Structure 1
């Protein structure tokens, strides 16, 4: 097993290198070649404990994505993120569950919901990590990244509830809503506490290598600590990641030498390597299961044709569920419907009510005519009340996506390692000792859906992104403008440190610290965007690294 794992990792990296040179997607090529290699005579089955996959592979991938994702961007797109990460998962589970129970009544509704919960969560971490290369707008990448950070927790909670309903085992908390509340709240608290504790310890170490090593432990500590308390390890990892990333916005006291810049530079090179290794392993592991999944299906009593047909229907269902949810929840159609509903309501009002409202609008909220009371300081159209303008402003700021963004978000629904790990974690027996009903069927369908979405959607997403030709010039200009403002703040702080009044006994990095402190204060005061500040802080770190002698 150890040698096989080593060979799998090595082969996956060679494939990734080949794909990189050819400009192709490494994941697609890895899955395809691994599936072909699985038919080699005498090749043993590489089968890992699902809990090992969830506890070793998933946490560092999520943690790395969180470290590179702004909490401010997460909060700014919270409605869309929760809608996709929680609402869509529940919607997909319900729709696919009832559809499967109708197509495969031998599973029962509870068993069908187990399958639905397994295939509900998309795995978008790998895709969004290359979002800018695909031409995805930054806001779209932010929404997809945020979705990938929360949807696993929702799906695994539904999975646990559905499995308990089939097996008849009493769960930690039987009420599903209370269970999800417990998992979310305790996981969040544990993640924040652990993140703050680790940040405090790292700040006192003063050795970049040790600090990076401690940071590598955070996702595993957060995950297993939360799981031991029946909380969500996924939420704990995400909360810890955000907490640790916020530590980069601490101000450094004057005259206090710090090696934090070396740690940031070292970790900026470290985490991409970790991501590459784990992603390569995930794709190889998925492909190597292909032959053995077919063998399990052949040995079961379920007809292979009907199982494959069910899998294709479920695959189509999860794709359509995402399209329906995105277009009805986040598309411009929602804004159009709201505007139309508002106009329709006004058209149905009696004429007398319309005249009274118009007179009230002209008088303004203070009862006067025109002036400051009617126009809120003279801004806006004459006769337009502040209340109407506020309502229009709120309506205009409903979170919507452009049609091309809608299509990209809808098509980014590839399933991955969470689906395979959850399917592998289905118990062998129920409480009575009987075999878990339809276990092989569920695992086979889950595998086909995961690989199918990867090959269908993952392979065509770059082509779709190029065909849509989304114009990101305005967004790119806004990003550059934000960086220019952040760079101006840093330059002003650096110029202030060069005057004659600066202390002569300052250490060499004091000027760099003042620039980063100025950026941190500007972010806290919301004068500049956090993403822009992060970009300039990286530039300052690189300059300080070039100007500072290496550590002994």
Structure 2
């Protein structure tokens, strides 16, 4: 029971911190980490130890799959060059820079152990990036690159990490072996992830039950991760691939499954995201408790220097890499050159998170300077979340990168809605021509023609106030119908199942009208 009580208490605290973050207009990941640190210093607060196996095997698969599920596959393919340059190139470059700096600061640290430290802190975290980016309105190209990078870079970093740990124990390190291992692990992980994803889709389409289908999508992420880890390939790549496969096939699912599973996954993401970041903050007591052998100023010097190198090395890599399409035009088809302001945002988005901490905690007990490496990894997470996470929105505003919400409905959305409306109207007109069943279709035609007139007006630039007024009338009529239904239910007592069905239909129609009205009002 103490575990259950502690878990519920943490979730309640996370809700409170999320509200504080919303009021303060700060990334809630930052507030959760700082809040966890504050709780850790409360007298009598228990020490919380985050098991690295739990962090990687329990938190990471669903969070990675959820991110991959939402990823625009066409945008991912269209930005594959910058994604790979960041996910592989930037990880290796950052790890090398951190290793060289660590050896200069701590001469007694073996170079292979320093490489392990570099691999731990090198990859920006998908969870941290999503927690910060979801509240900002960035150009789609930037978001595609950042999300794509954070989905793939963990695999590169963890492969390098495993090889560095093994080399530290064995006393030798080979970059060639690291490259070959990464390719093998990535291919193996992608194959398993694709197989699990396809199997999950086949199972989901045969279940024909929304609750079971949602549960199957949840199980798929763990199945791909554990299957990949069992055969010693990349579990991270496997989960990401499964997410891509499921996301690509989501339009073949029932409307109810898509809608309800989205709500379930949003809840899972919030709880797990929140627990991850507050648990990171709660580690502070345990980490500091093992730092007595070092002076406070020495620790602060190490942490500041390595955190600065971590942030600066990303800039050193990103800006030259962004010039490649200009210098080598043949590579332009894999991603066009970006404005320097976009490149600056990509370079500034280097928040670290749960993967870095879990990898640090997973170091063998006998690993050289293990406690110091764990402390430095924590400081890197804290520095990047606080410094970059809290200033990212300011940097975006200063550079003028944030996309302004355009008034009215977007051209692409209006065109798509018009296609739907015209196709629906043509089908209803075809049915109205039927001699036997045409009377019913004739009664429905005015409704479908009204929708077409509304959307044609949007495409032709009709007066926005008139369109908004029509939507407002529909919304008020719907509210009146809902109020009358509630009175009828209170007076005569409808069956709960019937009441739930009618309420769901009204809710869906209200959501549709509100989306259209929101597009009108901007």
The interval holding the TM-score normalised by the smaller chain is 0.7 to 0.9
1:278 CA drift (Å): 1.1
- CA–CA distance in structure 2, aligned partners of residues 123 and 413 of structure 1: 8
Matched, 1:470 2:404: no
1:476 CA drift (Å): 6.2
Count of matched residue positions in the alignment of Structure 1 and Structure 2: 442
Matched, 1:287 2:281: yes
Matched, 1:426 2:363: yes
- CA–CA distance in structure 1, aligned partners of residues 332 and 55 of structure 2: 44
The alpha-carbon distance between structure 1 residues 494 and 452, as it changes in their structure 2 partners (threshold 3 A), is: same
Residue 413 of structure 2 corresponds to which residue in structure 1? 483
The alpha-carbon distance between structure 1 residues 105 and 170, as it changes in their structure 2 partners (threshold 3 A), is: closer
1:328-367 pair list within 5 angstroms = 328-330=320-322, 333-334=323-324, 338=327
The alpha-carbon distance between structure 1 residues 404 and 71, as it changes in their structure 2 partners (threshold 3 A), is: same
Matched, 1:19 2:21: yes
Query: Comparing 317-326 with 3-12, which one deviates more in the overlay?
Result: 3-12
Residue 505 of structure 2 corresponds to which residue in structure 1? 546
The DSSP-based 3-state class of the residue aligned with 1:106 is: coil
Residue 146 of structure 1 corresponds to which residue in structure 2? 148
Matched, 1:320 2:320: no
- Specify which of 445, 451, 454 is matched with residue 385 of structure 2: 454
- Specify which of 414, 437, 440 is matched with residue 368 of structure 2: 437
Q: TM-score, normalised by structure 1?
A: 0.74
The alpha-carbon distance between structure 1 residues 239 and 477, as it changes in their structure 2 partners (threshold 3 A), is: farther
Any stretches of 5+ residues in structure 2 without a counterpart? 445-501, 509-522
- CA–CA distance in structure 1, aligned partners of residues 279 and 380 of structure 2: 15
Q: Answer whether contact 2:152 2:237 (CA < 8 A) is retained.
A: yes
Q: Answer whether contact 1:134 1:466 (CA < 8 A) is retained.
A: no
Residue 353 of structure 2 corresponds to which residue in structure 1? 416
The DSSP-based 3-state class of the residue aligned with 2:278 is: helix
- CA–CA distance in structure 2, aligned partners of residues 214 and 415 of structure 1: 30
1:32 CA drift (Å): 1.6
Residue 498 of structure 2 corresponds to which residue in structure 1? none
Residue 178 of structure 1 corresponds to which residue in structure 2? 180
Residue 61 of structure 2 corresponds to which residue in structure 1? 59
Q: Answer whether contact 2:112 2:172 (CA < 8 A) is retained.
A: no
Task: Describe the superposition over 1:9-52 as per-residue Cα deviations: whole angstroms up to 9, x where unpaired.
Answer: 22112211233244333222222222122122232211132011
1:438 CA drift (Å): 0.8
The DSSP-based 3-state class of the residue aligned with 1:400 is: coil
1:238 CA drift (Å): 0.6
The alpha-carbon distance between structure 1 residues 184 and 40, as it changes in their structure 2 partners (threshold 3 A), is: same
Q: Answer whether contact 1:12 1:30 (CA < 8 A) is retained.
A: yes
1:387-426 pair list within 5 angstroms = 399-426=336-363
Q: Answer whether contact 2:120 2:161 (CA < 8 A) is retained.
A: yes
Q: Answer whether contact 1:412 1:461 (CA < 8 A) is retained.
A: yes
- CA–CA distance in structure 2, aligned partners of residues 116 and 425 of structure 1: 15
- CA–CA distance in structure 1, aligned partners of residues 172 and 231 of structure 2: 16
Q: Answer whether contact 1:80 1:399 (CA < 8 A) is retained.
A: no
Task: Describe the superposition over 1:389-410 as per-residue Cα deviations: whole angstroms up to 9, x where unpaired.
Answer: xx7x976986222122122111
Task: Describe the superposition over 1:147-191 as per-residue Cα deviations: whole angstroms up to 9, x where unpaired.
Answer: 1100111100000000000112999x9932232122111110111
Residue 35 of structure 1 corresponds to which residue in structure 2? 37
1:263 CA drift (Å): 0.4
Residue 115 of structure 1 corresponds to which residue in structure 2? 117
Q: Answer whether contact 1:223 1:233 (CA < 8 A) is retained.
A: yes
Q: TM-score, normalised by structure 2?
A: 0.78
Residue 239 of structure 1 corresponds to which residue in structure 2? 241
The alpha-carbon distance between structure 1 residues 478 and 80, as it changes in their structure 2 partners (threshold 3 A), is: farther
The DSSP-based 3-state class of the residue aligned with 2:212 is: helix
Matched, 1:260 2:254: yes
Residue 227 of structure 1 corresponds to which residue in structure 2? 229
Q: Answer whether contact 1:423 1:442 (CA < 8 A) is retained.
A: yes
The alpha-carbon distance between structure 1 residues 482 and 491, as it changes in their structure 2 partners (threshold 3 A), is: same
Q: Answer whether contact 1:326 1:410 (CA < 8 A) is retained.
A: yes
CA RMSD in angstroms comes to 3.2
